[in-house]
Structure 1
Amino acid sequence: MITTPAMPKASKRRRKTRTPNVNHRPPVIASKLKVTEIDLTPGKEHMACPDCSTWVPITGMLGTPKLVPHHTGRAKAAERRRCTAGSNRQITIDVQADAVRTQLVEGAPTAASRRATKVLPKPKVKPAPAASQIKPAPLSAEQVRRVFRQHQQQCLACKGEVKNRDGQLLPCPDGERLAVTFLRLLRQEPKRQAVREFFARERRRFDRQYAATAPVKRASEWAAVQVRVSDADAARKVLPRGDRPADGPSLPQEPQDVEAYDRRQAELGRHARTGRPAEEAPAQPECANCGTTELNFVRAAAAGWRQVLRRTYCSRCADRFPNWMRTQF
């Protein structure tokens, strides 16, 4: 039995090492690293290796700080391959642990603000009506009075605080226009009220008249409908079976010329039994319903003959079928 040796995995990185080996490459400056690439928590100093981007413990913090020998992959999971360029590399700690922690805390809100926010649907707003569709609202004396009072409270000219060079008070054209409009509407209010009452009385009178005439109108409409329904029933009873009560020609259920139809069917059956080719069939077309014949198919096509369900019909018999069933030769 042949056993396959297991592939060696990356070993666990020791936090403290007692090796005097030092990497010949220049040391890594801690102040030039990003805040997210180094952790100077006392007793848990770690740093991302600049060569393999693997988080590696820092040893020798009291003497010569350097990265511990490590593999490039994750411990106990990845392939066992030593990071030769980054192992035992010296580190120059020129920053304080508190400063690194402060920068990391201050950068967290900035990173959170860069994240995509939830997309909120825009409210559906109805399109604004055209200028010809806008109906102006009628003004009332009370509305103009409220606008006038609000204008007086905000306008300095209406309060008497604006003067010219001669010391005379300057009038306010807006306040004067609102006052004139208010007085005009106040004089017209009795007439407007009378017009509104007149239209209200007419509306009530129309509603009463409509309610009184509605039953009579409904009865007359129903009587007219009953007459049309009875006429349609009578016309339907007069028509033979298979016909339709319409303006167009009816569709017969049985052939009009039974003898010609039987003769045609017998001839078609004889052709099917003898197996004669199509060129030996009779050259004169014959209507499958009425038995009418034509000299040839060219004259039949010119006369409006059509094929319905692979049968030949003259123009009169073919018109009784719908258009989607009729095909030309």
Structure 2
Amino acid sequence: MSAAATAERTAKERVRRTRSRGRNELAALRVSQIAAHEYDLDPACVSLVCPSCRTWVPINRPNGQPGRTRLVPHHTAKAGTADPAFCKDGSHRRVIIDVNVEQWQRRLEEGVAETDGRRSTRVTRKPKVAVAPAVMQILSPLLDAQAALKLYEAHTKGCATCAPSGRDRCTDGGRLVHLVAHKRRTEPAHRAALTIREELAEQREQGLWLLRDLQWASTADSVRRADIQRAHDALVAMLRPLSPKKANSPQLSDWERAGVMSAIAMLATKVEQLSR
């Protein structure tokens, strides 16, 4: 047999295409059925959140044929994690992009604008804590010069820093010295102002009493006439039982007559006093 016939019977090695071994039999993911904040259609990085491992995964061939648009193989943890686990359910899963990119961009901008409108722009500053006053500042309004001096002397006897000569003083001792000097300097003016306030208060009280007397004097006559008329009416009412209209009307007993006569005498005395 010739060499040419042997070469014709021998099969030639065919060039094989590289086929991916990754296959995913799960149903394809439709972008329109995914929440708007879980996918990104920006041409720079088209991606979505894998429903199996909840990580952001790029989409392979987003503008290619429908059957070739898939999620790239990925791990379930962040990049750089030691011993990452391969996501079997999410890798190579088909994706159907059935959302318009312009419509998605418009919806995203409207959502951002609405969120910015709800967000408060007021700056809530932390309130400043007021500094607590020192003991000397609390006692200063309550003490006079003599009391401040006694307080300083008592402090000097019990303090080891404050020397009797007055050269060395602690913090409280220095404050007490300043307090004594301040009280001695301001006490005369304070007493004068207090005296003026007391005199003004007394004059105001006298003015109120004078105003009350004047108001009473303007109404005294009408009040006196009203009291006389009231006593006169009571006197007439008491005299009626003593002079019955009918002869067979019931008569008062001696005790009742004595009581009525005593009340008449008191009313007569009152009317005489008011008439003066």
TM (norm. structure 2) is 0.35
> Based on CA coordinates, which of the two structures has the bigger radius of gyration?
2
TM (norm. structure 1) is 0.29
The structure whose residues are more often helix, as a share, is 2
| Higher relative contact order (Cα pairs below 8 Å, separated by 6+ residues) | 2
